[in-house]
Amino acid sequence: MTGWQTYRIADLGRVVTGKTPPSSSPELFDGTIPFITPSNMSFDCRHISTDRFVSTDWDRRKRTLLPEGSVCVVCIGATIGKICMSSTPSQTNQQVNSVIVDQARFDTGFVYYALRTKADELMARAGGAATPIINKTAFSDVEIDAPPLPNQRRISSILGAYDDLIEVNRRRITVLEAMAQGLFQELMHDSQTNPHGDLPLSELVVKTLGGDWGLDEPDADHTVEVRVVRGTDFSRLQSGDFGSCPTRFITRSSADKRLLKPYDVLLENSINAKTRAAGSTIVATHGLIEALGGSVIAASFCRVFQFARPEDAAVFHMWCRNLHASGEIVRYQVVAANGIANFQTTLFVRDGILPFETANYRKQIGFLLGLTSHTYAQQIANLAAARDLLLPRLISGQLSMDEVERTLKEAA
């Protein structure tokens, strides 16, 4: 670790705590500057997108405006340590502390990766309060080790190469999803222009069954180790995050009944109605099941739909997505007094009508099936695993950069 020195976060640049515009001035949210909040961020996604934007009038003196390349870290709440880099000038809310990096002395990418390794320390410093918090002063005192700037850039370049490939694959997934949705819309349009008859959902679905939750530790009866897929995991799985699904233990009889088979479709049948409607789906492809270790079940608040043919699973999945996007899916949910939306599976299967006969579109649906593959998601998971193996060793100087760069060149 020749040449490495210890620095406080305060030494890395200017630390900024974000701020939220007052609700009494909604016009301040009518702008073009991305407004970053913890819900937009994750523990392993370098660049993110936001769903809210603020006006330049909110911060006319630019006291909290973050330039491109700023490193943003969640410092309040259960997700302390979430981190991202701003890809354009941005603002954050008050739960986020950001470092505007002094680029004459430090590499922005190196600072990002160094702070990624500090999530556990930040949470420990936050204490055991009901709402954990690490204030700006305590955050600024956290220490990292860093080599001279040229070596910072080399480390950042190595780790960044993995994240670049991950982002390419995420864009590919987005393109495939758009292609699948476009193709399904074409099928819908053609079926309306040249009607060949409807298909009752009851004729498409072979069987439905509930999920399980099991126990977090094995006992005499619960001996089968499985990964459990919840509705909250669907979007993460689609983007290659296979680490979020918990490991649980279930009985042998439950495993015999519930272990997912390729092209089962999982439907989220219970959700807080304030967050989204029930009825989100995901296809359990070969790749998805393999990436989760082979023994996978749906959570008890999901429903599994089984079909005679993989093509039927793809059509069902896309049809449910179409209903969800249009808002029609709410016809099949009931919201309880406690605000929980419960999906009415029996009603859905009994009354649901697919607007075309799948037999008339075998070729197109076969292509649609290919678009539901989790190939790119698997590649993301593999790249993330390799990056995370290198990250702590590179960022602490334990691993030779020459060796890593040589390995990367050989792999290329």
Residue 122 contacts residue 9 (beta carbons within 8 Å): no
Residue 201 contacts residue 296 (beta carbons within 8 Å): no
What pLDDT, on a 0 to 100 scale, did the predictor assign at position 200?
85
The model's pTM: 0.75
pLDDT tens track for 220-278: 999 999 999 999 999 888 878 888 899 999 999 999 999 999 999 999 999 988 888 89
Which region, left, alpha or beta, applies to residue 57 given φ > 0 means left and ψ of -120 to 50 means alpha?
Answer: alpha
pLDDT at residue 95 greater than cutoff 90: yes
What pLDDT, on a 0 to 100 scale, did the predictor assign at position 377?
76
What pLDDT, on a 0 to 100 scale, did the predictor assign at position 356?
66
Which of 409, 288, 244, 274 lies closest to 338 in space, CA to CA? Answer: 274
Average pLDDT over residues 46-74: 93
Residue 43 contacts residue 119 (beta carbons within 8 Å): yes
For the chain, give the mean pLDDT: 89
pLDDT tens track for 35-57: 999 988 988 889 988 989 999 99
> In order of start, what are the domains of the chain with their CATH numbers?
5-146 (3.90.220.20), 173-371 (3.90.220.20)
Q: How far apart are CA 303 and CA 113, in angstroms?
A: 39
Residue 171 contacts residue 239 (beta carbons within 8 Å): no
pLDDT tens track for 177-211: 777 777 777 777 776 676 566 778 898 899 999 99
pLDDT tens track for 338-351: 999 999 999 999 99
What pLDDT, on a 0 to 100 scale, did the predictor assign at position 400?
79
Tell me phi and psi for residue 96, to 5 degrees. -120, 130
Q: How far apart are CA 383 and CA 160, in angstroms?
A: 11
pLDDT at residue 17 greater than cutoff 60: yes
pLDDT band of residue 386 (cuts 50, 70, 90) is confident
Average pLDDT over residues 299-319: 90
Q: How far apart are CA 28 and CA 141, in angstroms?
A: 33
Beta strand spans in 66-221 (E) = 71-74, 83-85, 91-92, 96-101, 143-146, 199-200, 205-210
Q: How far apart are CA 123 and CA 125, in angstroms?
A: 5
Q: How far apart are CA 199 and CA 387, in angstroms?
A: 47
What pLDDT, on a 0 to 100 scale, did the predictor assign at position 228?
97
